[in-house]
């Protein structure tokens, strides 16, 4: 009839308690070994342990003293506080014991009560930290008098149940695309697509670092460490605007496919933060194949005519035989797409009733040192001999929403 919830640790796992600055002499080492041999349990009486001293340990603790840690890039809280008991120093205990004894003299207590409390306030610090729990409870202490609370930090997922992980995993259906709804006031404008895409990628990197570990972030998320012939198979972060030009969705497309680790990251992603403290909440709508999103996201549909939705910035310096249209054709070849049969320059676009020029959009990455041959940008309409499947994003910053094309319907 009692719901008794507690953390049960895997009996095959070891609990490491580490003092990195502590140096013991031979006598202290021998004493520690004797004390460890006397420890029968930690915490609950049924949690039997066998304690021993390690000569050395080079691991990383997952619970440590200090204040809450915050990821400086994403603003996400990385640790949760835990109050743990530690003994007072001998001097601090002497002061506490003297104050309590003075206070007892002023209180009107029964002889039995006074005797019970004084028994738990010995002069000796060693006796104070060795008191029996029953004596402390009889005296009415809610915490040991020779103890103090110390703030520690542990990972937020440290006590997450591992029961589900023991079950036989079900194979996940293949996927290459994930879509989120974006909530927040104010929403960013489509004119700032590249800025919001950078915020999203930064949030994904922070969540991947926290979920998988800093050294285990998939290259298909970072875009780094890939083969030269695999430059555009990593994630495209593509914000999407509503009819008012506000970014209310974001679609992440990974042409090479989304594996189990990436699913964990995308499933855990809940918020995106800007540089100025602005925060947007994300609601995961679906993880699946590109075709799953055709009814809600036109940029993943198939069409033979595509028109710029955001400015195209040519990725190479223009030369006599490599003008902008030639660069578009070259990019299509490198993406294993058929070359357009017609490439037409558009001076403006009018996606939601407002005429826009390329310079109306923000066109620069926040990452310093990037070579950017084109700073103005341009709009284009591409016609192919047969249907091409989206998303279609070309040029500089294409993985951050620049150079994004949308299909043109036959009646438009």
Q: What is the DSSP string of 289-327?
A: -GGGGTTT-GGGSEEEEEEESS-B--SS--BTTB-HHHH
Order of all β-strands in the sheet with 302-308: 342-346, 379-389, 302-308, 404-407, 392-393
pLDDT digits (tens, 9 = 90+) for 79-95: 788 888 889 999 998 89
Tell me which DSSP letter residue 168 carries. Answer: P
Could you tell me which residues come within 8 angstroms of residue 112 by beta carbon, excluding any fewer than 6 positions away?
none
Using CA atoms, how far apart are residues 363 and 192, in angstroms rounded to an integer? 8
Let me know: does 388 contact 331? Beta carbons within 8 Å.
no
pLDDT tops 80 at residue 31:
yes
Of these ranges, 34-48, 126-140, 370-384, the one predicted with the greatest mean pLDDT is 370-384
* Beta-bridge mates of residue 328: none
Using CA atoms, how far apart are residues 37 and 213, in angstroms rounded to an integer? 36
Let me know: does 247 contact 175? Beta carbons within 8 Å.
no
Q: 3-class SS at 2?
A: coil
Tell me which DSSP letter residue 193 carries. Answer: H
**pLDDT, average across residues 16-33:** 90
Let me know: does 184 contact 278? Beta carbons within 8 Å.
yes
Let me know: does 121 contact 145? Beta carbons within 8 Å.
yes
Q: 3-class SS at 201?
A: helix
Q: What is the DSSP string of 35-93?
A: HHHH--BSSSTT-B------S------SSEESSPPB-TTT--B-EEEEEEEEEPPHHHH
User: Tokens for 189?
Assistant: 């404008």
- Judging by DSSP bridges, how do beta strands 379-389 and 404-407 pair with one another? unpaired
Tell me which DSSP letter residue 246 carries. Answer: B
pLDDT digits (tens, 9 = 90+) for 99-147: 888 887 767 777 777 788 888 888 898 898 888 888 888 888 888 888 9
Query: What is the pLDDT, as a whole number, of residue 46?
Result: 65
**pLDDT, average across residues 210-237:** 84
- Which tops the pLDDT comparison, 2 or 183? 183
Q: Taking all residues of the chain, what is their mean pLDDT, rounded to a whole number?
A: 86
Lowest mean pLDDT among 3-12, 52-61, 125-134, 335-344: 3-12
Using CA atoms, how far apart are residues 137 and 211, in angstroms rounded to an integer? 42
For the chain, how are helix, strand and coil distributed in percent, rounded to 5? 30, 25, 50
pLDDT tops 70 at residue 72:
no
Single pTM value for the model:
0.59
Phi, psi of 47 (to 5 degrees): -90, 75
Banded pLDDT at 185 (limits 50, 70, 90): confident
Query: What is the pLDDT, as a whole number, of residue 367?
Result: 82
Using CA atoms, how far apart are residues 363 and 262, in angstroms rounded to an integer? 28
Query: What is the pLDDT, as a whole number, of residue 193?
Result: 95
Let me know: does 69 contact 78? Beta carbons within 8 Å.
yes
Order of all β-strands in the sheet with 79-87: 64-65, 147-155, 79-87
For 4, 7, 47, the CA distances from 1, given in Å and listed in that order, are 9, 19, 22
Query: What is the pLDDT, as a whole number, of residue 5?
Result: 61
Q: 3-class SS at 268?
A: helix
- String of b and e for 229-265 (b: at least 16 CB within 10 Å)? eeebbbbbbbbbbeeebebbbbbbbbbeebeebbeeb
* Beta-bridge mates of residue 241: 247
Let me know: does 327 contact 316? Beta carbons within 8 Å.
yes
Tell me which DSSP letter residue 185 carries. Answer: S
Phi, psi of 201 (to 5 degrees): -60, -40
């Amino acid at each position: 009839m009692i719901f008794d919830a507690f953390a049960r640790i895997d009996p095959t796992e070891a609990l490491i308690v580490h003092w990195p600055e502590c140096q013991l002499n031979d006598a202290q080492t021998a004493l520690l070994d004797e004390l460890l041999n006397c420890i029968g349990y930690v915490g609950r009486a049924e949690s039997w342990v066998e304690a021993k001293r390690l000569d050395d340990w080079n691991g990383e603790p997952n619970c440590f003293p200090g204040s809450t840690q915050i990821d400086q890039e994403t603003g996400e809280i990385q640790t949760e506080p835990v109050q743990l008991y530690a003994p007072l120093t001998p001097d601090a205990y002497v002061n506490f014991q003297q104050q309590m004894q003075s206070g007892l003299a002023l209180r009107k207590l029964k002889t039995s009560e006074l005797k019970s409390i004084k028994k738990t306030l010995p002069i000796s610090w060693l006796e104070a930290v060795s008191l029996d729990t029953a004596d402390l409870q009889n005296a009415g202490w809610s915490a040991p008098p020779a103890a103090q609370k110390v703030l520690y930090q542990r990972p937020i997922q440290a006590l997450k149940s591992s029961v589900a992980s023991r079950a036989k995993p079900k194979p996940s259906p293949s996927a290459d695309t994930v879509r989120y709804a974006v909530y927040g006031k104010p929403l960013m404008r489509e004119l700032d697509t590249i800025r919001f895409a950078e915020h999203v990628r930064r949030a994904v990197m922070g969540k991947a670092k926290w979920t998988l570990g800093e050294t285990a972030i998939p290259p298909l998320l970072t875009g780094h460490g890939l083969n030269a012939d695999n430059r555009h198979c990593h994630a495209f972060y593509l914000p999407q605007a509503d009819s008012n030009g506000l970014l209310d969705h974001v679609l992440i497309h990974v042409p090479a496919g989304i594996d189990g680790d990436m699913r964990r990251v995308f499933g855990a992603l809940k918020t995106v933060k800007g540089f100025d403290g602005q925060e947007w909440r994300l609601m995961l709508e679906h993880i699946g194949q590109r075709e799953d999103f055709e009814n809600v996201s036109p940029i993943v549909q198939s069409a033979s005519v595509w028109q710029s939705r955001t400015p195209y910035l040519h990725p190479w310096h223009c030369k006599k035989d490599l003008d902008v249209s030639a660069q578009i054709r070259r990019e299509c070849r490198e993406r294993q797409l058929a070359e357009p049969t017609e490439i037409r320059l558009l001076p403006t676009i009018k996606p939601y009733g407002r005429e826009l020029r390329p310079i109306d959009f923000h066109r620069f990455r926040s990452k310093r040192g990037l070579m950017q041959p084109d700073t103005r940008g341009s709009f284009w309409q591409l016609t192919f001999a047969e249907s091409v499947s989206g998303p279609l994003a070309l040029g500089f910053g294409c993985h951050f929403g620049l150079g994004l094309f949308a299909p043109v319907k036959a009646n438009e």
